Amino acid sequence: MGGFLLRKIGAALVVLFLASVLVFAGARAIPGDIALALGGEERNPQVIEQIREKYGLNDPLPVQYVRWVGLALTGDLGRDSRELPVGHTIVTRLPLTLELAGLSLLIAALIGLPAGVIAAVRRGKPSDYTATTIALVGLSIPHFWLGLVLIIAFAVELHWLPAGGYVPLSEDPVENLRHMLMPAFVLGTGFSAVLMRQMRSAMLDSLASDYVRTARAKGLSEWAVVGVHAFRNSLITVVTVLGLQLGALISGAVITEQIFGIAGFGRLTVDAITQRDYSLLQGVVLVAAAGYVVASLAVDVVYSLLNPRIRVGGRPA
């Protein structure tokens, strides 16, 4: 187990290092002079030169990279074009997105898991076709359009829910939930479709396996066979897939926050790109990539705890 863990951590560190190089290079590939962007309205060459000096933009790129990573390791991601600390901005924006993501995953699990189980158990029956078709429709709807349709229906026509904005949980939990309901549903539907399909195929595998046949032969009730044996074993596969969906979750959050006017991490990312705020952009994308790497590592570890064959077998397929 120790060796397996070390190998996985090593690979994660390599990925993280390469990701940081890519982030650094990518931020510099965006056209436009960084110093001019930082200067805002300022066009005085002397001031621009001062900015260049101050941010160390005259140093060779490798020097700039090492300085940036060194500071990032201590938690200092530098300052954005408005002189605000990037790390602090990210920390204040992140909870909104985490809440959105958590609620979406909850909605996705509540819809997707039961639907997947039912579709698998009733395979080939009308309920299976209905569930698989609805899931496919769910995969085909762009987040931003579903968001617009929900706003038209529940905010413009029915006046049941606010069209956008955010109220902190600590201020008013009920209002917070009212504001989060539509965005979380928009982000959650796509995932429920993914979860449903994964759950269905994992359940079909489980239901065809020897241990399910044994459980049936023992005379266990159908409920115990499906609910305990097949479902719990299928869940392992589904959890793995879920962990790898983090990237899609961030992509979805970007667009959902844009539609509903939530000033979260996703919105921050788009703003950083459109405003050419390179230090903000570096910080945001680095945090997103680090989150993905850590999540994949966590999934690997959880998976190996649940399924010993992985760590004993050594070589992953």
Partner 1 sequence: MSYVEVAPLVTPRARRRRLLLRRFVRRPFAVLGLVVALAFVVSAILAPVVAPANPDATDFNALLAHPSSEHLLGTDELGRDILSRIIWGARASIQAGVLATLLAMVIAVPIGLVAGYYRGWLDPVISRFTDVLLAFPFLIVAVGLAAILGPSLLNATIALGVGAAPGLIRIARGEALALREEDYVRAAVANGAGGPTILARHILPNMMNTLIVQATVTIPAAIIGEATLSFLGLGVQPPTPSWGVMLSAAQPYISDAPRLALYPGLAVVCCTLSFNLLGDGLRDVLDPRTQR
Q: List residues binding partner 1 (CB under 8 A).
A: 11, 14-16, 18-19, 22, 26, 29-31, 133, 136-137, 139-145, 148-149, 151-152, 156, 204, 208, 247-248, 250-252, 254-255, 258, 269-270, 273-274, 281, 285, 288-289, 292-293, 296, 317
**Strands, E, within 32-186: which ranges?**
none
Q: Which is nearer to partner 1, 218 or 315 (CB)?
A: 315
Other Cβ atoms less than 10 A from the Cβ of 174: the count is 8
CB of 126 to partner 1, least distance (A): 13
Q: What is the 3-state secondary structure (H, E, C) of 106-140?
A: HHHHHHHHHHHHHHHHCCCCHHHHHHHHHHHHHHH
CA distance 182 to 291: 25
CA distance 58 to 35: 10
Q: How far is CA 128 from the centre of its chain?
A: 29
Q: Which is nearer to partner 1, 64 or 251 (CB)?
A: 251
> Which token pair is 306?
């649940």
CA distance 284 to 272: 8
Q: Which is nearer to partner 1, 157 or 171 (CB)?
A: 157
Q: How far is CA 9 from the centre of its chain?
A: 20
Q: Which is nearer to partner 1, 133 or 214 (CB)?
A: 133
CB of 135 to partner 1, least distance (A): 10
Q: Are 172 and 125 in contact (CB under 8 A)?
A: no
Q: Which is nearer to partner 1, 114 or 291 (CB)?
A: 291
CB of 156 to partner 1, least distance (A): 5
Q: Which is nearer to partner 1, 242 or 254 (CB)?
A: 254
CB of 257 to partner 1, least distance (A): 12
Phi, psi of 202 (to 5 degrees): -65, -40
Q: Which is nearer to partner 1, 50 or 251 (CB)?
A: 251
Q: Residues, the chain, total?
A: 317
Which residues does residue 79 pair with via DSSP β-bridges, in sequence order?
85
CB of 26 to partner 1, least distance (A): 6
CB of 270 to partner 1, least distance (A): 7
CA distance 233 to 79: 47
CB of 218 to partner 1, least distance (A): 24
